[in-house]
Amino acid sequence: MGLFGLNLTVSSSSSSSCNVSPLLCPSTSTTTTTNPLPRFNLRFPGKSFSFSLSKPDVVKKKSVSVILLAGGKGKRMGANMPKQYLPLLGQPIALYSFYTFSELDEVKEIVVVCDPSYQDIFEDTKEKIHVELKFTLPGKERQDSVFSGLQAVDLSSELVCIHDSARPLVTSGEVGKVLQDGWLHGAAVLGVPAKATIKEANSESFVVRTLDRKTLWEMQTPQVIKPDLLKKGFEFVNREGLEVTDDVSIVEHLGHPVYITEGAYTNIKVTTPDDMLLAERILSLNNVKSPK
């Protein structure tokens, strides 16, 4: 690999017809290649350089910081503890996605945003994981918790991956896809096409209009954003006093495009007792055992 992401090869060529300044010209080779980018020959008297433009590696190993949001109260569950710590097939819900992230080569650290009284649930896993573990305190709102986690992210990280710990069923394949899209586009989010008909209503509960379902997506997590972009987004929303309910909305306010990576309907957020039963059923059908 040469400078500026160029693949270079050098060969002697006494028959070169170029005897003035170097020329940059398309190669006349008819060899079939899987590289969609053009190949060039750079000719000097007596030597020729053959090179092709190539994309950088999509997501490097140990280049991703995960912010795992685990500070919610989960009042709708009606339990005596936050929903993300309730046992799902014998293990806390939050540990499912935690272990999924910890096993990915791309992940260098997991920043858990949680109440200190629940840190031991994650600290007890230290001997089983091969990523750095950090903790920060949750904020009043979701965006405050994300901002708190962002302060602990390693400065050398190339991607920030934000996930709700109450989504235990996300797979490594889904995470891998959204990481790639986040790297390529700067911001990406897992989502699924809307199934239900969505209507907009006024303050008196009368229908204003029916939205075109073909253009609607239900957002999930992870949501992946390049750290510099996320920091700029936070500077803007904090300065303007804006409130957002998901993470990519922060960079949407900058006018930056957000790519939707199609996920799976099984990546549910466990919010109610019915969701818990559904999660157990999905795990059982897929023969998934609880993390150990």
Q: Which fold has domain 64-285?
A: Spore Coat Polysaccharide Biosynthesis Protein SpsA; Chain A (3.90.550)
DSSP 167-195: -TT--HHHHHHHHHHHHHHSEEEEEEE--
What is the amino acid identity at position 64? V
Radius of gyration, alpha carbons of the chain: 24
For CATH 3.90.550.10, the residue range(s) in the chain are 64-285
Determine if the peptide bond prior to 222 is cis (ω within 30°). yes
Torsion angle in degrees (nearest 10) through CA of 266, 162, 158, 105: -50
Q: Which two tokens mark 15?
A: 């028959």
> Per-residue pLDDT averaged across 208-218, rounded?
96
- Which whole-number Å values give the CA distances from 117 to 120, 152, 157, 282, in the listed order? 7, 19, 28, 30
Q: Which two tokens mark 10?
A: 């050098």
**Residues 143-182: tens digit of each pLDDT:** 999 999 999 999 999 999 999 999 999 999 999 999 999 9
Please state whether the predicted TM-score (pTM) of the whole model is above 0.85: no
150/2: higher pLDDT: 150
Task: Please state, as a whole number, how many other Cβ atoms lie within 10 Å of the Cβ of residue 207.
Answer: 9
